[in-house]
């Protein structure tokens, strides 16, 4: 074949190829991730209309508010989020993991929904959403701090194309956590963490137990397997905790412990070292878990951790969420 004919053949092939769009329009590769529950999720493209039914503060930590179509209704009452975004109520809400409004959710036309599915009712909600044909990404399933929080950050960073920002947030949280942990004294303070009642306490697998250990405390409930365990007052008196932390979800406050005659000889009561945690909803899923760790550090070893909690929060909100 002559050079002229070869050239003509090449031009013909190129013309046909361009006309069919094979060169100028490549099909999207999509995004494939394994979520925090170990489930593989494939998205056809980067989300543009995500709904966060959990982990809403990640929206601001990663700077992806422009890619969000909806949030859990609990975001409207979250004091941390209200400090970050006082206008959060302008973002529509289809409910929450306990009571999602399916019609409202579908009306938002989400291309992905971020959920926390560890409580069994929440797992059913996640399955209902998946049956609608909407991709679901599960966060949570945190077993180790700060490693799994970083894993969560990097998961969302990949999904929303903000890997660099996720790395920066992870680096900051790791540095702060390790800095606090490194200062923890070897002399462990006995701590009890009570939940829905004063005798419903944190056991070995509770995230609060890990926080307590990180700052030089010893959770007296660690002898029990599981997340929560119910004990009697006699057992508490026998363990004689030196610090008592009450869950922010509890409907009772410090006075219920301090004014209980049966507990008057407990060291935490005698020292009045009974504290109620600040309201930070589901902080074990969020970057602001570090604020709770700082709070526990101050309560458990006030002689070691002399930082100002208010100033520490301001710095944190600035570094992670860009507030101030």
Identify whether residues 37 and 110 lie together within a single domain. yes
Backbone dihedral region for residue 21 (phi beyond 0: left; psi -120 to 50: alpha; all else: beta): left
Identify whether residues 170 and 306 lie together within a single domain. no
Identify whether residues 192 and 169 lie together within a single domain. no
Nearest of 270, 197, 277 to residue 233 by alpha carbon: 197
For 43, list phi and psi in degrees, rounded to 5: -110, 140
CA atoms in the 13 A half-sphere facing the CB of 51: 29
Identify whether residues 109 and 227 lie together within a single domain. no
3-state secondary structure of 237: helix
Is residue 27's pLDDT more than 70?
Answer: no
Q: How many domains does the chain have?
A: 2
Answer yes or no: is 19 within a domain: no
Centroid of chain to Cα 94: 20
Identify whether residues 162 and 269 lie together within a single domain. no
CA distance 211 to 177: 10
Answer yes or no: is 13 within a domain: no
Pairing state of beta strands 40-43 and 136-139? unpaired
> What was the pLDDT predicted at 30?
86
Q: Which of 180, 214, 232 is the last residue of a domain?
A: 180
> What was the pLDDT predicted at 13?
40
Answer yes or no: is 173 within a domain: yes
Nearest of 122, 163, 159 to residue 137 by alpha carbon: 159
Is residue 14's pLDDT more than 80?
Answer: no
Identify whether residues 203 and 293 lie together within a single domain. yes
**CB crowding 174-210: b at 16 or more within 10 Å, else e:** bebbeebbeebeeebbbbbbbbeebbbbbbeebbbbb
Is the Cβ–Cβ distance between 249 and 193 less than 8 Å? no
Is residue 1's pLDDT more than 90?
Answer: no
Give 108's strand partners.
none
Is residue 66's pLDDT more than 80?
Answer: yes
Identify whether residues 214 and 123 lie together within a single domain. no
Identify whether residues 173 and 54 lie together within a single domain. yes
Strands (E), the chain: 31-34, 40-43, 50-52, 68-71, 112-116, 136-139, 189-194, 200-202, 217-219, 228-230, 243-246, 274-276
Using one digit for the tens of pLDDT, what is the confidence trace for 248-260?
999 999 999 999 9
The most confident of the ranges 12-16, 25-29, 201-205 is 201-205
Q: Cβ of 123: how many Cβ atoms within 10 Å? A: 16
Q: Which of 129, 153, 180 is the last residue of a domain?
A: 180
Is residue 75's pLDDT more than 50?
Answer: yes
Answer yes or no: is 26 within a domain: no
Pairing state of beta strands 31-34 and 112-116? unpaired
* Residue 239 belongs to domain with CATH number: 3.40.50.1980
Identify whether residues 164 and 209 lie together within a single domain. no
Is the Cβ–Cβ distance between 80 and 57 less than 8 Å? yes
> What was the pLDDT predicted at 263?
98
Is the Cβ–Cβ distance between 317 and 324 less than 8 Å? yes
CA distance 199 to 230: 6
Answer yes or no: is 299 within a domain: yes
Range of the domain at 100: 31-180
Answer yes or no: is 58 within a domain: yes
Nearest of 187, 169, 148, 134 to residue 301 by alpha carbon: 187
Give a three-class secondary structure readout of 238-271. HHCCCEEEECCCCCCCHHHHHCCHHHCCCHHHHC
Identify whether residues 162 and 268 lie together within a single domain. no
Identify whether residues 103 and 162 lie together within a single domain. yes
Using one digit for the tens of pLDDT, what is the confidence trace for 294-320?
999 999 999 999 999 999 999 999 999
> What was the pLDDT predicted at 28?
53
Identify whether residues 230 and 250 lie together within a single domain. yes
Using one digit for the tens of pLDDT, what is the confidence trace for 125-152?
999 999 999 999 999 999 999 999 999 9
Q: Which of 133, 148, 180 is the last residue of a domain?
A: 180
Answer yes or no: is 89 within a domain: yes
Answer yes or no: is 204 within a domain: yes
Using one digit for the tens of pLDDT, what is the confidence trace for 166-187?
999 999 999 999 999 999 999 9
């Amino acid at each position: 074949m002559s050079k002229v004919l070869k050239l003509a053949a090449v031009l013909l092939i190129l013309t046909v190829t361009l006309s069919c769009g094979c060169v100028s329009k490549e099909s999207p590769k999509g995004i494939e991730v394994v979520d925090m529950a170990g489930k593989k999720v494939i998205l056809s493209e980067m989300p543009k209309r995500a709904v966060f039914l959990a982990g809403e503060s990640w929206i601001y930590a990663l700077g992806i508010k422009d890619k969000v179509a909806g949030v859990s209704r609990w975001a409207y009452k979250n004091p941390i989020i209200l400090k970050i975004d006082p206008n959060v109520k302008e973002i529509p809400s289809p409910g929450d993991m306990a009571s999602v409004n399916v019609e409202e959710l579908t009306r938002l036309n989400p291309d992905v929904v971020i959920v926390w599915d560890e409580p069994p009712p929440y797992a059913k909600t996640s399955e209902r959403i998946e049956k609608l044909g909407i991709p679901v990404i599960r966060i949570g399933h945190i077993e180790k701090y700060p490693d799994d929080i970083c894993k969560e950050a990097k998961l969302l960073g990949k999904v929303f194309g903000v890997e660099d920002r996720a790395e920066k947030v992870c680096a900051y949280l790791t540095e702060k956590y390790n800095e606090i942990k490194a200062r923890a004294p070897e002399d462990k303070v006995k701590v009890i963490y009570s939940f829905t009642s004063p005798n419903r306490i944190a056991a070995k697998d509770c995230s609060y137990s890990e926080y307590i250990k990180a700052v030089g405390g010893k959770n007296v409930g660690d002898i029990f397997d599981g997340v929560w365990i119910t004990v009697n007052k006699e057992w508490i008196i026998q363990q004689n905790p030196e610090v008592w932390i009450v869950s922010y979800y509890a409907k009772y406050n410090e006075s219920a412990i301090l004014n209980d005659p049966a507990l008057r000889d407990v060291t935490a009561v005698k020292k009045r070292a009974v504290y109620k945690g600040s309201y930070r909803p589901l902080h074990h899923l969020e970057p602001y878990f570090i604020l709770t760790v700082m709070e526990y550090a101050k309560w458990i070893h006030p002689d070691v951790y002399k930082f100002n909690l208010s100033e520490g929060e301001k710095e944190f909100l600035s570094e992670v969420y860009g507030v101030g």
